[in-house]
Amino acid sequence: MDIVQDKMSAQFDVTLVKWGSSVGFAIPKAVREGMKLEPGKKVRLVLRENKLCIEKI
């Protein structure tokens, strides 16, 4: 997967995991590193036309 830090495109499959009354998923390492996401940092999940996007906030 090629990663460009300013604009990144990727498609990956994840498995939903039940956490209490919610569900979550793990973000692949290459995507986490490319977006410089760290545990405990907040992200915004945006649903647009049935596509879920991850945005740094």
Residues contacting 3, CB < 8 A, separation 6+: 10, 30, 31, 33, 34
User: Residue 1: its pLDDT value, please?
Assistant: 46
Give the CA-trace dihedral at 26, 31, 34, 35, to 10 degrees. -60
- What is the CATH T-level fold of the domain 17-56, as seen in this structure? Pemi-like Protein 1; Chain: D (2.10.260)
User: Residue 6: its pLDDT value, please?
Assistant: 63
Per-residue pLDDT tens for 7-37? 777 788 889 999 899 998 888 888 888 888 9
